[in-house]
Amino acid sequence: MPLTDIEVRAAKPRDGKLTKYSDGQGLQLWAHPSGAKSWRVYMRVEGKQKSLTLGAYPELSLKDARRAATAARERLAVESASTGPSATVPAPKATFGTIKAEWLDRFERSDAAKKTKDKMIWHASLAAALDNRPIAELRAPDILAVLKPLEEKGYLETATRLRSTISKIFRYAAAGGHVDSDPTALLRGALQPPKPKHRAALVKRADFERLMRAIDGYSGKSGIVREGLMLLALTAARPGELRLAQWGEFDLEAAVWTVPPARMKMRQPHRAPLSAASVDILRRLKIDDGLARPPSPYILPGPRAGRPLSENAFNVALRAMGFSGDEATAHGFRSSFSTLANETGLWNYDAVERALAHQDGDDVRRAYHRADYFEERRRLMEWWAEQIAAMVTG
């Protein structure tokens, strides 16, 4: 059955996968997981089935897509009659929008975090003004025209990330033979660079001690948040890594937490030794979880069954304790740990960096320097737990 305008508007990918809707006579509407939709037509060329991308929807309506498909079939018929069975139909010029949709589909099948994928889709949507343009005809000034309004509004970080996203799309297009080069390379230095943002952190011992005492005395609406903040301080983990941690990642007997690569910033698994104080908190949480109905897979369950603690729970608690956003953040605990540990001179700098799951910025050094420092990190985390205990008791 031919498609209707209502069906085309309502078409969505099923189960988050690319879904194809047939209009008949080889014309299909592709609903991509990214939310984009594109038209393709299938025809027989030299006895083999070939597909041509006609354009993106809604820029190319159902009516126009049918006309484009008919025109493609007519070209095939004319050329076949005039040149014989070896005739082929010249493919229409690929637009930026169709290549972008293909690249997003590919990216969504990667192992990147959902949050990263959502951001990439959003950044790609900001380049919608280029979607109907043949990608091979786009030049650096065309792309700069999309980026400049963001820069003028002060969205420097967004403009920089959008340029990077467009660059990735062009490199994908180059691999497919649609373009010869990436014009975004000519825009380096054309945009004002964003100012680096440093997350607020208490890096003086007296200030961090004040924070630890506040957390120890925090009641809030749930002891889960207090326990979570203590674990955040004790482990120096990223807030997202801890908030989404599940019981299957922990070996409490061996006192080891293995964070899976999908939740690590660098997509590498991370083995973290746990101090005795961390294990004690986890055992308490495990007992509480055993009493819950139903038990949660997360070590820090949220109020809704089967869901983790909310993304803002830690920072909301810090504000309730009287610490402003310019003074302390959940992510800032890592800076506190790094600064106070390195200032003592007791610990190998690389061991502290490995405890933070940081990758070496030097590509060559990273390739050869693969030491784990696990035993030193175990002693380091035990020492850090003793420091926090001393801060709490004064």
Question: Contact, 220 vs 320, CB < 8 A?
Answer: yes
User: Is 198 among the catalytic positions?
Assistant: no
243, 334, 354, 377: which is the annotated catalytic residue? 334
119, 358, 373, 379: which is the annotated catalytic residue? 358
User: Is 106 among the catalytic positions?
Assistant: no
User: Is 265 among the catalytic positions?
Assistant: yes
User: Is 178 among the catalytic positions?
Assistant: no
Closest CA to 314 of 383, 232, 204, 378: 232
Rounded-to-integer distance, Cα 394 and Cα 392, Å: 6
User: Is 331 among the catalytic positions?
Assistant: yes
Which residues in the chain belong to E strands, given as ranges? 19-24, 27-31, 37-45, 48-57, 250-251, 256-259, 270-273
Rounded-to-integer distance, Cα 142 and Cα 320, Å: 48
Task: Give the single-character DSSP code of 50.
Answer: E
Residue pointed to by tokens 């003793």: 386
Q: Report the 10 Å Cβ neighbour count for 302.
A: 17
In the chain, the amino acid numbered 297 is P
User: Is 172 among the catalytic positions?
Assistant: no
119, 171, 265, 379: which is the annotated catalytic residue? 265
Q: Report the 10 Å Cβ neighbour count for 47.
A: 6
178, 238, 377, 378: which is the annotated catalytic residue? 238
If residue 23 lies in a helix (H) or strand (E), which one and from where to where? strand 19-24
Handedness of CA 104, 109, 110, 115 (dihedral sign): positive
What's the token pair of residue 173? 């297009």
117, 119, 168, 331: which is the annotated catalytic residue? 331
197, 293, 368, 370: which is the annotated catalytic residue? 368
Handedness of CA 55, 56, 60, 63 (dihedral sign): positive
The residues annotated as belonging to the active site are 238, 265, 331, 334, 358, 368
